[in-house]
A and B are shown apart, each in its own frame.
Chain A
């Protein structure tokens, strides 16, 4: 089944439902992803992020709804479609005896028949090894790699076919800050230079804010928010907090018009110090939205809680 898809729309999801027994994990998910966008899917544990991504990857059958990925229903995605999609999987102990160079070379060969003048496939293995920063481990057995090095290899495997669309499920879990920074550089590079559309899930709000053009919040089986970090913050509260001190005393004032308030403040007093204007952070927004949602749907909040307990 092929859907009519708008210009530049890479992923289109509507009325997506996923039911396990009597539990609706996804209950009418709707969103779109446009070419070249970096989208982050946020949500509490058990909200269905992984389920959603696996349906889009074509690894899981949905219960109902329409899904189109690169113009194709992933449930019926052909191998030719598969060549255009990259999936970053979490390696655990697979290919323990192989070296990163041998594995990348081998997996890359599957993409050779899908090379086009616009997109030469696969990626050059040596370049890729450099891009993800595993030059020194390229000839080591994969089982001797550290967790962070393995994740870089996973990313390399995910992009070896120069995908038009890349899925990453919690790519930086277990990364140290340095590795995380380098991973962010890779994502920016893919998005800017390779025109790759990227959909990733994360628990790290700071990461979501840094990487994403647009953030989707999935809670209780629905997309409850969709927009840039800034837009989401404004949906929760239009007010900003202004903090300052005067004569050693500290003050806080919440206002929808921070600029106007600060102007007046500075005009009226000349001993203002420690001035600080703070908009709601993505974390404030996220917590507020998930809470709003959960108080509205106590039953689904309970489901999320149960899954955390497991």
Chain B
């Protein structure tokens, strides 16, 4: 097991390098600036709206929900795209060609995606604290809740992204198999507006997936307990949040290694070559 531990350490180094490269990359900086700017602008334009039947500003309600959605979005779409890309550009094959390289590679992936949440959150939370009053209403207890919801959300959603990235036939298909379902869930998971306007069966569907539960978990962290009346069952449903996200996390931990192994088994120089030709064709 010594060489496995060594590979995990090497992979952590890889994740850190990738993270630093990402921070320095104009492309990634642009992506961070775009999401942060978009979210803040949306909230700012709605800053005077009040939520019907409460004394809460819409902004106060929407900010935690949007953070939750951003977490799910980044952890599903990010790894889905990068894995699909790495299969085509040969990154994965390089990892496969060195001893225990895949263990290191996926360790690096997990660390990179975890670390990437820090800048995405900070660039919304820091300006948010200045722009909107009373963003966090529960003090330290609230921040502790943020941390466990983020960690549990991470364990629940990152495997989904990796599985999608491993199964899609090509990078272009991530839109259909990753982006589209996420956008649908975004619309039906109570992120931008409470769920009670939706049909019952739609509510049921959205409560199967982590997006809704990460959203409600974040709201429970930021909002006063009185705001729970807006939720289904007029409660934060903390136990159910832990149970559903935990179930996704366990399922992910059980399924993902096998799916990644299967994907890696199919990698060879000719699959990379074929993907390259396909891509060149596509550009042409």
Contact = CB atoms under 8 A, between A and B. Distances in A.
A89 B267 contact: no
B239 interface: no
B10 interface: yes
A92 B98 CA distance: 18
Contact of A90 (B7, B98, B273): B273
Contact of B100 (A79, A93, A98, A157): A79
Contact of B269 (A54, A82, A157): A54
Interface stretch (A101-109, A212-220, A244-252, A259-267): A101-109
Closest 10 pairs between A and B when the two form their complex, measured CB to CB: A59-B268, A83-B99, A94-B91, A113-B3, A110-B98, A79-B99, A94-B89, A97-B21, A94-B90, A87-B97
Interface of A: 50-51, 53-54, 57, 59-60, 79-80, 82-83, 87, 89-95, 97-98, 102, 106-107, 109-114, 157-158, 161, 169
Contacts of B10: 106, 109-110
A50 B86 contact: no
B13 interface: yes
A97 B25 contact: yes
B165 interface: no
Contacts of B21: 97-98
B270 interface: yes
Interface in B88-102: 89-91, 93-94, 96-101
Contact of A111 (B2, B17, B99): B99
A91 B91 CA distance: 9
B98 A112 contact: no
Contacts of B47: none
Main secondary structure of the interface of B (DSSP, over half): helix
A63 to B, nearest CB: 15
B225 to A, nearest CB: 46
A59 B99 contact: no
Given A107-B94, A114-B3, A169-B269, 20 more contacts: A50-B269, A82-B99, A87-B97, A89-B90, A90-B90, A90-B269, A90-B273, A94-B89, A95-B91, A95-B94, A97-B25, A102-B17, A106-B13, A109-B10, A110-B98, A111-B99, A113-B6, A157-B94, A161-B98, A161-B99
Given A59-B267, A102-B17, A106-B13, A111 B98 contact: yes
A107 B98 contact: yes
5 contacts: A82-B99, A107-B101, A111-B98, A114-B3, A161-B99
